[in-house]
């Protein structure tokens, strides 16, 4: 099954133009996060909705630069569409049919941003040497893209360390308690997705169990207690 880094959608403006919505690039996400403080400071839903419209106006710098002001935004986009843009661009999910206040719904999506250390994450990815400066990095990557790149970088770094350790006769997986990804995958396959890892007894079934000398259905008996109820 194909996988994707992030969800995306297409929204239609009142004049029929279509906008392709993906997560905000970090450059605009930082501006969005600053403006989002006004949503948190809002005294009521009316103020919160106005602040969300202001946040969406900032987003238009990425999706539709022709819309430069909040008035132009309101002339081109209705509130249900704004809510849809907020969901796919910044993870802010708002159900306009819910009885829960818009302010409270919006705060749930942005609650983790206060503790997000963008500078540290960017610095690690910047070491790949692809971008000439941080502005270029922030203009080209969204948070899902940044975290996916960071995960692969860390995995490659670990594999390199694992190889160097093996040259010295050290099993880094065993030393660190990290399981081999291939063994984990086989465990899930043998157990039909029930095993948490290769050491899980549920992984010891069929041929896999025969090789180990025991396993479910291969000498390891167990009683189904649910049948005795």
129: left (phi over 0), alpha (psi -120 to 50) or beta: left
CA proximity to 52, closest of 6, 10, 92: 92
- Say what the pLDDT of residue 221 is: 42
**The model's pTM:** 0.68
Residue 212: predicted pLDDT = 47
pLDDT of residue 213: 46
Q: How far apart are CA 64 and CA 61, in angstroms?
A: 6
pLDDT of residue 110: 61
Contact 86, 55 (CB under 8 A): yes
Does the CA dihedral 31-33-38-39 come out positive or negative?
positive
Sign of the dihedral defined by the CA atoms of residues 52, 55, 57, 62, in that order: negative
Using an 8 Å Cβ cutoff, are 29 and 142 in contact? Answer: yes
Radius of gyration of the chain from Cα atoms?
25
Please choose, from the candidates 144, 147, 148, 152, the residue with its C-alpha nearest in 3D space to the C-alpha of residue 22: 144
CA distance 92 to 48: 13
Rounded-to-integer distance, Cα 120 and Cα 141, Å: 15
Residues of the chain whose pLDDT is less than 50? 1, 198-204, 207-210, 212-229
Contact between 121 and 146 under an 8 Å Cβ cutoff? The reply is yes
Largest CA distance in the chain: 73
Alpha carbons 14 and 158: distance in angstroms, whole number: 50
24 token code pair: 């905000």
Contact 97, 30 (CB under 8 A): no
């Amino acid at each position: 099954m194909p996988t994707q880094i992030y969800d995306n959608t297409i929204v239609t403006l009142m004049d029929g133009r279509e906008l392709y919505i993906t997560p905000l690039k970090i450059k605009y996400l930082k501006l969005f996060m600053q403006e989002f403080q006004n949503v948190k400071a809002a005294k009521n839903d009316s103020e919160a909705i106005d602040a969300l419209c202001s946040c969406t106006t900032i987003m238009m710098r990425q999706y539709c630069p022709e819309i430069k002001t909040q008035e132009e935004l309101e002339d081109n986009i209705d509130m249900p569409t704004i809510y849809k843009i907020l969901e796919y661009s910044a993870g802010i999910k708002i159900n306009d049919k819910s009885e829960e206040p818009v302010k409270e719904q919006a705060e749930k999506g942005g609650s983790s941003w206060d503790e997000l250390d963008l500078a540290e994450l960017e610095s690690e990815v910047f070491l790949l040497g692809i971008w000439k400066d941080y502005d270029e990095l922030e203009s080209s990557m969204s948070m899902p893209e940044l975290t996916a790149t960071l995960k692969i970088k860390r995995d490659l770094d670990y594999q390199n360390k694992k190889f160097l350790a093996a040259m010295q006769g050290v099993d880094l997986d065993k030393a660190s308690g990290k399981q081999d990804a291939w063994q984990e995958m086989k465990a899930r396959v043998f157990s039909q997705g029930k095993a948490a890892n290769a050491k899980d007894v549920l992984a010891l079934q069929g041929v896999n169990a025969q090789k180990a000398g025991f396993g479910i259905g291969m000498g390891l008996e167990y009683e189904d207690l649910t049948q005795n109820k």
